[in-house]
Amino acid sequence: MHMSDALISPLVGGGMWVVSTGIIAYCSRRLRETMNDAIVPLMGVLGAFVFAAQMINFTIPGTGSSGHLTGGLLLSILLGPHAAFLVMSSIITVQALLFADGGLLALGCNIFNMAFPACFIAYPLIYRPIAAASNASTLRLLLGSVAAAVIALQIGAFSVVLETSLSGISELPFKTFVLFMQPVHLAIGLVEGVVTAGVIGFLYQVRPELFESAFHRPVCHALRHVLAGFGVLALLTAGVFSWFASSHPDGLEWSIGNVAGKEELEAAKDGIHGVFAAVQSRLALMPEYSLPEKDSAGGSGEAPVDTKITGKKDESWPAVSPGTSLAGIIGGIITLLIVSAAGFVLKRGVAKNAI
């Protein structure tokens, strides 16, 4: 669901930068009030895992499209909504800056669309009432996860449509665009809900103490096995499982293709769009999660629309690629470091306030 800069106007992009930055500031302040010692490493490792998981697109049968997990709901369940929003913001920023996955002008939109609905609507209003009780059954856990994931994806998809409409993108009429975006992201939400329920159900079995007081916020203990498990899984996902990603366009690309006749729109090459594109082309060391091609003339600088490794339609499947593995591992490590650094800064703020 990563939007490119071509889908939004400078006014909408700038406005959503302000909105997302404000939410980040709010979450940082709230996290200082509730942070404990164990949450920082858990934030870092889970950030790396979700970064890697987002690299794997799965095919949506009968559509010719694909989707990927967003991870916002999973992070909210394990970390609480405020920490989850900060981790999601870090992941999406790393994707945009280093891998040109989503535009820089659209960064505020992408953070809001993929993080806010899951962290502050679906998790507290849908998941917690259904599945967050300590004695929740497997069925309640599944229903809560699926319902929350579907709601989060539906709100996120509708936000994309609304932002493009407010930006005056004439190639994507509101009514037609929403008719393609909502159903395909309904299917993606169903898959994300089932996967989330599976992960949370497993953790309930092996580490039930992770969910003590989960109705309010999770109490995170120094769970070395959980950290090690997610760390190993992040490495395997980025380094190996990413080769098995679907080659079909993702839900956003597929919807754009059905409405506009092409999966990507061209952004203006001058003005604010041109400035952001130039900055991104210099910062993106591994565009589209692969090693830069030396025979390329430098590229256009325009951010791909959530292509990841799926942009190479002529590759065989599985697409065994050392470049993709390297990009995924580097991205996961950088995400872990950024999230951990932010967590330690917030933790120091807590310590100073306590003195």
Preceding peptide of 318 cis, ω within 30°: yes
Instruction: List pLDDT tens digits, range 218-262.
Output: 444 447 788 899 999 999 999 999 889 998 999 999 999 999 999
Contact 251, 65 (CB under 8 A): yes
Instruction: List pLDDT tens digits, range 69-98.
Output: 999 999 999 999 999 999 999 999 999 999
- CA 3 to centroid of chain Cα atoms: 12
- Residue given tokens 């599985």 in the structure block: 318
**Summary mean pLDDT of the chain:** 87
Above pLDDT 70, what percent of the chain?
86
Q: Which whole-number Å values give the CA distances from 353 to 27, 188, 340, in the listed order?
A: 17, 43, 20
Taking residues 301-310, what's their average pLDDT? 42
* Domain enclosing residue 247, as ranges: 5-354
Contact 73, 152 (CB under 8 A): yes
**Structure tokens that stand for 258 in this block:** 């059905």
Contacts of 192 (CB under 8 A, 6+ apart): 67, 69, 70, 73, 149, 153
Contact 258, 117 (CB under 8 A): no
> Using CA of residue 191, residue 196, residue 201, residue 202, what is the dihedral sign?
positive
Q: Is it the case that residue 38 has pLDDT exceeding 90?
A: no
Quick one: which of 288, 327, 339, 7 has its CA closest to 162? 7
Q: Output the pLDDT for position 135.
A: 65
Domain total in the chain:
1
Q: Is it the case that residue 322 has pLDDT exceeding 60?
A: yes
Q: Output the pLDDT for position 224.
A: 78
pTM, full prediction: 0.89
Contacts of 182 (CB under 8 A, 6+ apart): 154, 157, 158
Q: Is it the case that residue 216 has pLDDT exceeding 70?
A: no
Q: Is it the case that residue 296 has pLDDT exceeding 60?
A: no
* CATH number of 265's domain: 1.10.1760.20
Instruction: List pLDDT tens digits, range 93-146.
Output: 999 999 999 999 999 999 999 999 999 999 999 999 998 765 678 899 999 999
- Residue given tokens 């970390």 in the structure block: 79
- Integer distance in angstroms from the first to the last C-alpha of the chain? 44
CA distance 148 to 120: 11
Residue-wise DSSP of 185-223: HHHHHHHHHHHHHHHHHHHHHH-GGGGTTTTT-------
Q: Is it the case that residue 320 has pLDDT exceeding 90?
A: no
Q: Is it the case that residue 212 has pLDDT exceeding 80?
A: no
Instruction: List pLDDT tens digits, range 256-280.
Output: 999 999 988 988 888 999 999 999 9
Q: Output the pLDDT for position 309.
A: 37
CB crowding 30-63: b at 16 or more within 10 Å, else e? bbbeebeebbbbbbbbbbbbbbbbbbbbbebeeb
**Structure tokens that stand for 240 in this block:** 């190996």
